[in-house]
Amino acid sequence: MTAKAIASGIKAVDPNLVFVVLANSRLVQAGEAANLPMVHEVFADRAYEDDGSLVSRRKTGAVLHDPKAIAQRVVRMVQDGAVVSVTGKTIKMRTDTVCIHGDTPGAVEIARGVRHALKDAGIDVAPFKRS
Instruction: Write the pLDDT tens digit of every residue in 46-85.
Output: 999 999 999 999 999 999 999 999 999 999 999 999 999 9
Phi/psi at 18 (5° precision): -85, 125
Residue 104 confidence (pLDDT): 83
41 within 8 A of 101, measured Cβ to Cβ: no
DSSP category for residue 84: E
- From residue 83, alpha-carbon distances to 7, 51, 76, 94, 113 in Å are 25, 11, 8, 9, 18
Domains (ranges, CATH) in the chain? Answer: 2-120 (3.20.20.370)
Sheet holding 38-43, edge to edge: 19-22, 38-43, 97-99
User: Is the pLDDT score of 128 beyond 90?
Assistant: no
Mean pLDDT of the region 91-96: 94
What band does 130 get if pLDDT is binned at 50, 70 and 90? Answer: low
Where do runs of H (alpha helix) occur along the chain? Answer: 2-13, 26-33, 67-80, 107-120
Given a cut of 80, whether residue 129 has pLDDT beyond it is: no
**Mean local confidence (pLDDT), 96-122:** 94
10: nearest Cα among 32, 40, 25 = 32
pLDDT digits (tens, 9 = 90+) for 13-37: 999 999 999 999 999 999 999 999 9
Q: What percent of the chain has pLDDT over 90?
A: 90
Give the CA distances from residue 72 to residues 31, 69, 76, 81, in Å, rounded to whole numbers and listed in that order: 30, 5, 6, 14
User: In the predicted model, is pLDDT for residue 131 greater than 60?
Assistant: no
Average pLDDT, the chain: 94
